[in-house]
């Protein structure tokens, strides 16, 4: 994939996330046989350029979601470490589906598939 195309897709993802700040989001990550579920109130969206070490993904650019929440891996649920969750963009390939304001988005990277959706107020 051309760098400009990857940058455009990353911008689209950042824009979608910015539109959902101050809302509760569910992020599901599927990587091989592992899955992680994060529930967080998104306060801020950041970008960490490549070369900045973070959470075992040194060298890859990341979109960083900031906010309080929980993370569930397997059957264990715990507070979200440092109130942030990073999505590494290494191999960022596609935004597979983007819904309207109430819908979610599906993102594929070189390592994982991420499903990100807002929690609707009726499901509090």
Four-CA torsion 65, 21, 73, 86, nearest 10 degrees = -10
A 10 A CB-CB count for 79 gives 10
- pTM, two decimals, is 0.83
pLDDT for res 67: 98
Mean pLDDT split into 10-residue runs, the chain, 124 residues: 64 92 96 94 92 58 95 90 93 71 82 92 47
pLDDT for res 52: 58
């Amino acid at each position: 994939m051309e760098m400009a195309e990857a940058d455009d897709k990353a911008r689209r993802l950042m824009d979608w996330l910015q539109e959902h700040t101050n809302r509760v989001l569910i992020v599901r990550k599927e990587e091989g046989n592992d899955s992680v579920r994060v529930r967080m109130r998104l306060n801020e969206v950041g970008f960490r350029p490549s070369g900045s070490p973070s959470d075992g993904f040194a060298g890859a650019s990341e979109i960083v979601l900031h906010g309080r929440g929980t993370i569930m891996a397997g059957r264990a649920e715990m507070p979200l470490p440092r109130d942030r969750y990073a999505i590494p963009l290494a191999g960022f390939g596609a935004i597979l589906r983007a819904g309207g304001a109430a819908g979610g988005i599906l993102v594929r990277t070189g390592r994982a598939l991420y499903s990100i959706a807002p929690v609707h107020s009726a499901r509090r």
